[in-house]
Amino acid sequence: MILAGDVGGTKVHLALYSFEHAQLVHVRDERFPAHEYSGLQEIVQRFLAESSNPEITAACFGVPGPVRGGRLRLTNLPWVLDARELSAGLNITHLFLINDLEANGYGIPELTPDQILTLNQGDPAGVGNRALVSAGTGLGEGVLVWNGKTHVPMASEGGHSDFAARNPLEMELFTWLTQKLNGRVSYERVISGPGLTNIYTFLRDEKGMEEPAWLTQRMQTEDPNAIIGEAGEAGTSELCSKALEMFAASYGAEAGNMVLTVLATGGMYIGGGIAPKMLKTMQSGVFMQAFADKGRLSELLVHTPVHIILESRAALMGAAAYAEARAAEISGKSVRAASR
């Protein structure tokens, strides 16, 4: 059995996978509120105990941030993760930590056609690097480098690069955020869950867009981003619809930047939990218009395939695939191959 994990700042998502006919088979998964536990080991031990303590041949956890020497200090939790310590504490010989966008990247080849929505067909025969941009609690970015045979995911912290305003309204947003944050504004401050709230608040407080009483009440008692997404997609609030539109435009612009940066002729993949919840807005044209608005190089963007990952377990699938492949490389025994 393969153990996979997706570690976030607010939750830890764990899953068990097996293989049948060389394909990943989901066995069980569960989410845990991270702040209620002292560390990742405690969560894993509980998950495995609830799963009747299966024999784990390999494990991999996707984590938010750069992993150096198998070690990572989380920014949103008081945890230090060390692959060697976890391996010993959990008694799992083959245990790995990789960046969460790397895990997402390894998951892409495991997806089936119904787990992907294509925004732009582009040139489906295009070969080359791929790019991955994932907006969720934060903004993750990754590169899938084409080596002539396969795509190799590489981590990036590009989501923390400087936000670039493209029109007068975004310039006003930039100025407002600079004052709110007392300084530098990164793309993550705009393209993320907190970023969506930032855009909404800017439109309400700075631009004077109306927030009706029913919306005010719901924003005070429910998850703000869920309400913005729901009301914006349904068109019941002009304020929410405009917030989603600005969000999608910035998302598209930065995705286009990634294509130019890594020459992603093999395609752009949109991951994370936000895009699948705002498909109407994403398909309205505002995302692709900003994506392709690159002046003299716009034609390159028009021919780039763009896909939204609909499967919420893509990062877990990637972590499982990575764990199996690395364990097979080390031990010489492949669980995937044996299942053919």
Torsion of CA 135, 141, 142, 143, to 10 degrees: 110
* Of 271, 328, 248, 267, residue with least CA distance to 99: 271
The boundaries of every CATH 3.40.367.20 domain in the chain are 112-310
Region 64-77: mean pLDDT is: 89
pLDDT given for residue 248 in this prediction: 98
For the cut 90, the answer to whether the pLDDT of residue 267 exceeds it is yes
In whole angstroms, what is the distance from residue 6 CA to residue 318 CA? 10
The whole model's pTM is what? 0.94
Q: Is the dihedral of CA 152, 153, 154, 156 positive or negative?
A: positive
CATH architecture of the domain with range 112-310 = 3-Layer(aba) Sandwich (3.40)
pLDDT given for residue 7 in this prediction: 95
For the cut 80, the answer to whether the pLDDT of residue 9 exceeds it is no
Region 168-196: mean pLDDT is: 97
Give the Å distances, CA to CA, from 244 to 117, 247, 312.
19, 5, 20
Q: Which residue has the higher pLDDT, 167 or 124?
A: 167
Give the Å distances, CA to CA, from 264 to 132, 286, 296, 300.
9, 21, 17, 9
CATH domain 2-107+313-338 topology: Nucleotidyltransferase; domain 5 (3.30.420)
Q: Where are the beta strands (DSSP E) in 126-234?
A: 130-135, 139-146, 151-156
In whole angstroms, what is the distance from residue 325 CA to residue 273 CA? 26
Q: Note whether 130 and 144 are within 8 A (CB).
A: yes
Q: Note whether 128 and 336 are within 8 A (CB).
A: no
Q: Which residue has the higher pLDDT, 147 or 10?
A: 147
For the cut 90, the answer to whether the pLDDT of residue 10 exceeds it is no
Choice among 17-31, 45-59, 72-86 with the minimum mean pLDDT: 72-86
In whole angstroms, what is the distance from residue 297 CA to residue 52 CA? 55
Cα distance between the two ends of the chain: 16
Give the Å distances, CA to CA, from 177 to 9, 60, 174, 255, 259.
23, 37, 5, 21, 26
Region 243-259: mean pLDDT is: 98
Backbone angles phi, psi at 286, to 5 degrees: -65, -35
Q: Note whether 281 and 143 are within 8 A (CB).
A: no
pLDDT given for residue 65 in this prediction: 86
pLDDT given for residue 8 in this prediction: 85
pLDDT given for residue 155 in this prediction: 86
In whole angstroms, what is the distance from residue 162 CA to residue 170 CA? 13
pLDDT given for residue 106 in this prediction: 97
Tell me the chain's radius of gyration from C-alpha atoms: 21
Q: Note whether 279 and 317 are within 8 A (CB).
A: no
Region 316-335: mean pLDDT is: 96
For the cut 80, the answer to whether the pLDDT of residue 75 exceeds it is no
pLDDT band at residue 270, thresholds of 50, 70 and 90? very high
Q: What is the rounded average pLDDT for all residues in the chain? A: 96
In whole angstroms, what is the distance from residue 283 CA to residue 288 CA? 8
Backbone angles phi, psi at 118, to 5 degrees: -90, 120
The boundaries of every CATH 3.30.420.40 domain in the chain are 2-107+313-338
For the cut 80, the answer to whether the pLDDT of residue 244 exceeds it is yes
